[in-house]
Homo-oligomer: A and B are copies of this chain.
Amino acid sequence: MKTLRDIGENELLRQLLPRLPQQSGTVTGPGDDCAVLRLPGTSQDLLLTTDPVIEHQHFTPDTPPRLIGRKAIARAISDIAAMGGVPKWLLVNLVAPADSPLSRVRQIQNGLIQAAKTWRLGILGGDTAEGNSLELHTTAIGLIPRGTAILRSGARPRDIIYVTGSLGASWHQGNRHHLTFQPRLKAGQFLAKHRYATSMIDLSDGLATDLTRLLDASTCGAHVHADAIPISPAARKTDAPLEHALSDGEDFELLFTVSLRKVRRFEAAWHQCFPRLPATRIGEILSDPRRRQLLHPNAPPAPLHPTGFQHFSPPAP
């Protein structure tokens, strides 16, 4: 009997997405970081996304409970950052076993409330239910000026590929980046407001996987320069820094493309606005969607595969 493990998350979604019914008012449906809705009469589009945070998948029994609450919000609003929007409201479902220590649940709630205050979000409600494991499901609602959301599908041949911050080992050996990361809200809003980015995605499942998603959505290929990829200090301490930077999930940095003719202006403005957050050129978009290569300075090009995390499947070889 075939199970979810046999096909994995990516294939499950690939088969499902085209079948989902749509309704008027939907500017962008499933398959991007957020859906985009437009109501008549407004100057703002609505951004909607939902994200689960599950024990043993996204945190462990010894994760400080406040950081579980924080992560449940940070993950969801990172998707709004990836469209260039401003997160405004949340709905949060809590699932927990009945024998969960009350103090742990209260600390998770405190983490949610503190994070909502930090990012100026209203918590509109949600639900609580008994279940086998501890989970938070966060729906985030954001706003963005009409028609300015940055999609995954906008990359064009010759665009330059950038990534913010540095990548890899978010979970490695006690690294808490996956709990303490800063969603790149201001960076995403800057890229949307000035229309610098032609496409964008946040790195939740690893550069190789998420770049593949962006290229698939844009029907393009890419060259990525291995020696240009910014590797996190934690990944540098491992035996395979580049592999960690390419394949580890939960960096929550932004991956985006900028049209060649805007690159100079973009880079100057970026350095002015974000003097302490690097935006690193790592490659170029190509017109042939089958050409996706990792270029090494002293080795032949290697094909770029989605080697990052996907649910239901064992890690790729």
Contact = CB atoms under 8 A, between A and B. Distances in A.
B129 A98 contact: no
Interface stretch (A117-125, A186-194, A271-279): A117-125
A20 B117 CA distance: 9
A65 to B, nearest CB: 13
A4 B125 contact: no
Given A2-B102, A101-B3, A102-B2, A126 B41 contact: no
User: Taking the full assembly, how many copies of this chain does it contain?
Assistant: 2
B23 A89 contact: yes
A260 interface: no
Interface residues of A, number: 82
A124 B29 contact: yes
Interface of A: 1-7, 9, 12-13, 16, 19-23, 25-26, 29-32, 34-35, 37, 39-44, 46, 48-52, 54, 56-58, 88-89, 91-93, 95-103, 105, 109, 113, 116-117, 120-133, 135, 137, 139, 141, 143, 311-313
20 contacts: A2-B103, A3-B98, A4-B97, A4-B100, A12-B105, A19-B109, A20-B116, A22-B122, A22-B123, A25-B88, A26-B122, A29-B123, A41-B42, A41-B43, A42-B42, A50-B139, A57-B129, A58-B129, A93-B137, A129-B311
